[in-house]
Structure 1
């Protein structure tokens, strides 16, 4: 009898332990990822080679279970974020993942434009429609469209920007119908939706989606950026530096291993990102000698200041460089003595 009790208790314990791996808590865990060389990821046709390397840095982020939650509580360079700090209002995890991939896509476009413009080369765009980023519940698109759908016609019309799409819909009245032509998983579909007032702004009507442009950038020489499943906009600065370095004769790496992070706007402004502490740890492990960090114009809580603090904590020899713009990064690198 006692053996049966022990066996039953053991089985129950195993079930609880296994269940803890699959039971999701209302948190995301962020931990150091890796530093990846950009040479194999970015290819400019007939581009120049470098002696050193530019590296993007990543964080590993995922939904917390009991074990990863406890590990993050005890780990020095792991962070816990409540769901509402990661997901937008009413955003599902699937929509979050789609948003991250499209943020990466937009980051690549900005990086290419910044680099080619700096190199004095022409840039053009080929507009293809809009991507659905999020669908708002209790609005006409709910249950009809989903994150990742690409809308390329409205009432048979094709537009040259998402702004034209928004203006077209905005001129209509609540109750008016529009026909959308969109693609999902390489299949073309049509749906007719009635416009509805937004609860938070009754003067506006729509179908209840957040969107982003779907467009290709046209440049010569051609550039290919392979990011696979990497999401988010934080590699923008490093993308732009790698692309520019392949476009120009002068090797900005000077033979060093240069990591970094930061968003990039089309005007070359470098913006802050999350997880800078984890990225410093990842870059140090990868042997980076320099790390370019968003300076945020010297703000007290800037990425740069957090990066410097972490660098001291882990006693790295890696030099942390404050950066506000793409031009500033180029100017700093041009003055580096060759290794």
Structure 2
């Protein structure tokens, strides 16, 4: 009898242990990801080689289960976020991932633009439409359009920029019907929506979407950036440095292992990102010697200050370099002695 009881308890414990791996909690866990060399990812046609490496840094994120939640509680550089802080009220994980991939696409375009212009090479764009990034609850697009939809015609008209799209819709009045032609999962669809005033700005009408341009960048020599399923915009600065380095004869790496993070705008401004502490840990583990961190014009709570603190806490020998824009990063590297 006792043997059956012990067997039953043992089986129950096994079931609970296995179940704990598959039962998710309403939280997401982020932890240090990887520092990945960019030369195999970015290829400029007939580009110059480099002795060292530029590296992008990542944060790994996943849905929490019982074990990952407890592990994160005990780890200094793991972070726990309630699900609502990651996903919007009506946003699915698939929609979140689509937005992250669109942000990555924008980061790549900006990086190419900045690097080629810095190298004195002309840049041109081929406009294809707009991507829906978010849909405002209670507005006409709610329930009809989704993040990731690509709108390429409005009332049968094509446009050459998102500004033209916004101006066209903005000239209409509340209640006016507007027909949108869009692609979703490679299928063409149409929807006619009546414009509505925005609550925060009653004089403006729209359908309630945030958007980004869907456009191709045209450059010579050509460049390919293979990011696979990496999302977000935080690799913008490092993309631009790698591209510029392949375009110019002087090797800016000078034999060093150089990591970093930060968004990049088309004017070269470097913007802050999330998870800087985790990226410092990832870069240190990968053997980076230099790390570029967004300086945010010296703000007290800047990424740079957080990066310095983390590097000190983990006893890293990395040189943490503050940058406000692309030119500052290039100037630092140009003055760097050969290794």
Q: TM-score, normalised by structure 2?
A: 0.94
Are the counterparts in 2 of residues 94 and 147 from structure 1 also a CA contact under 8 Å?
no
Q: Could you report, residue by residue, the CA deviation over 1:228-268 in whole angstroms, capped at 9, with x for unpaired residues?
A: 11111110110000000011000000011111111111111
Note the C-alpha offset of 1:11: 4.1
Distance 2:209 2:15 in 1: 41
Query: How many Å apart are 1:91 and its aligned residue?
Result: 3.5
- Measured after TM superposition, the shift of residue 20 of structure 1 is 2.6
Deviates more, 1:218-227 or 1:303-312: 303-312
Structure 1: which 5+ residue stretches go unaligned? none
Distance 1:25 1:337, change over 3 A: same
Say yes or no: does 1:180 pair with 2:189: no
**3-state SS of paired residue (1:159):** coil
Structure 1 match to 2:233: 233
State yes or no: 1:269 paired with 2:269. Answer: yes
In 1, distance between residues paired with 2:21 and 2:200? Answer: 39
Q: 1:9 to 1:207 in 2, by over 3 A?
A: farther
Q: Deviations over 1:164-223 (max 9, x none)?
A: 212222222333222111112222222222223334444333223221110111111111
Alignment partner of 1:212 is 2:216: no
User: SS of the counterpart of 2:24?
Assistant: coil
RMSD: 1.9
CA contact (8 A) 1:90 1:136 kept: no
2:199 and 2:66 map into 1 onto residues whose CA distance is 38
Task: Name the structure 2 match of 1:79.
Answer: 79
Q: What's the CA shift for 1:26?
A: 2.9
Asked if residue 55 in structure 1 is aligned to residue 81 in structure 2, the reply is no
Please list, as runs of the form range in 1=range in 2, the aligned pairs for 1:143-154 lying within 5 A after superposition.
143-154=143-154
1:101-120 superposed Cα distances (whole Å, 9 cap, x missing partner):
11111111111111111111
Q: Distance in 2 between matches of 1:17 and 1:147?
A: 37
Choose 126-135 or 88-97, whichever is displaced more. 88-97
Matches of 1:199 and 1:5, distance apart in 2: 64
Structure 1 range deviating more: 230-239 or 156-165: 156-165
Aligned-partner Cα distance in 2 for 1:194–1:45: 47
Q: Tell me the SS of whatever aligns to 2:39.
A: coil
**Deviation (angstroms), 1:9:** 4.0
- Asked if the contact 1:27/1:80 (under 8 Å) is kept, the reply is yes
Partner Cα separation in structure 2 for residue 13 and residue 335 of structure 1 = 61
1:203, 1:299 → 2: CA distance? 36
Q: Which runs of 5+ in 2 are unaligned?
A: none
**Matches of 1:12 and 1:192 in 2, distance apart?**
56
Deviations 1:108-165 (A, max 9, x none): 1111111111111111111100111123344332332222111100110001122221
State the 1:4 CA deviation.
5.0
Shifted more, 239-248 versus 210-219: the winner is 210-219
Between 118-127 and 137-146, report the one with greater CA deviation: 137-146
> How many residue pairs end up in the alignment?
339
224-233 or 185-194, which deviates more? 185-194
Quote the residue 1:335 is aligned against: 335
Q: Which digits, 9 at most, give the CA deviation of each residue in 1:42-77, with x for residues without a partner?
A: 111111111111000101012222211111110121
